[in-house]
Amino acid sequence: MLTLVVALIFFGILIMVHELGHFLAGRLVGIHAEEFSIGMGPKLFGFSRKGTQFSVRALPIGGYVKFLGEDEKSDDPRAFNNASLWKRMAVIVSGPAMNILLAVVLLTVFYMSYGIYEVVPEILEVVEDSPADRAGLMPGDRIIQVDGVSVEGLQAQEAVEAIRNAIRQKGGNELEIVVRRDGENISVKLVPEYSEQSDSYVIGIVFGRIRRYGLMPSIGLAFNQAGRIMFLMVDMLRALIFRGQGLNEVMGPVGIVGEIGKAVQAGMQQLLSLAVIITLNLGIINLIPFPALDGGRLALLLIEGVRGKPLEPEKEGFIHFIGFVVLILLMVLVTYQDIMR
């Protein structure tokens, strides 16, 4: 029950942010919204403000903003069909853009609250009565060589991985480590011990630490990480569409609710990470040039710009209707796949 409640709130926030992007952009450029809805189907409750009906509907499978003159011609100067091309494009793009912005905000909160686990080739901590402790290794020692293999000059992550691999491969046999301490190279010999907790041989040193960031550095990291995730998503999407790769891994509503349930059990940190992935997915998928999606509407506006005149509202509405039917069928297929898993 808790998973279902969290999932409804989760989806509600993501949908509301997306539709809020369309709504606010419309307000900004002077296009009137007749309705702002969270959910589909029968209306549960709502209220009216400044000529716009705000409503919550029974089916939590999406949402919409209905603009005046969006699907039919209107003589009202505030109508969507009477706005300039760039204004209409701005309204369409603003939904996905808000999802991407939400991801940046969530990542910023993540870096400020939880930080990043960083590794350095310098020993940060020595476990008491461990092989490293008995051999005389100390916090602040910088490992430069393991069993004759130099790790000096490597990037921090690479150096630490090389050190860990060397320790694991040595097993329970004697190991020589050279560290630099106060400008002097010191060589020590020790025997790694097996750890049931990590299921590997260890010597009792800690390289990693959690580093939390301030507001401005977190914002910079958030934009960078959001960009990297989106690049990977676009690459995966391209492989899915053109080569069919990852088709069996596509997840629908049932699968996502399952992942939300796991994240709820794991804690807020995991839930925040999942929210970032889903909101970026929502933003990117909506930009696909497919009818009924924001990308499809944007593509038709680009065609209008090339032709110099818009499509007839009836034809455009029919195109989006066909696209909507296909999307519903795809959702049913993916949901079936989720259940069969």
Retrieve residue 27's tokens: 């307000």
Query: Alpha-carbon distance 116 to 101, whole Å?
Result: 21
Active site residue 19: yes
41: nearest Cα among 59, 16, 60, 15: 59
Please count the helices (runs of H) and the strands (runs of E) in the chain. Answer: 9, 12
Candidates 19, 249, 304, 314; catalytic one? 19
Q: Which of 102, 108, 110, 109 is nearest to 278 (CA)?
A: 102
Q: Which two tokens stand for residue 287?
A: 């930009």
Query: Cα(first)–Cα(last) distance of the chain, in Å?
Result: 21
Gyration radius of the chain over CA positions:
27
Q: Would you say 130 and 177 are in contact if contact means Cβ atoms under 8 Å apart?
A: no
Q: Which two tokens stand for residue 234?
A: 């676009």
- Element containing residue 187 per DSSP (H, E): strand 184-190
Q: DSSP letters along 94-146, please?
A: HHHHHHHHHHHHHHHHHHHHT-EEEE-SB--EE-TTSHHHHHT--TT-EEEEE
Burial 234-267 (b: 16+ CB within 10 A, else e): eeeeeeeeeeeeeeeeebbeebbbebbeebbeee
Contact 5, 11 (CB under 8 A): no
How far is Cα 88 from Cα 318, in angstroms, rounded to an integer?
Answer: 19
Which residues, in sequence order, are bridge partners of residue 36?
54, 65
Catalytic residues: 19
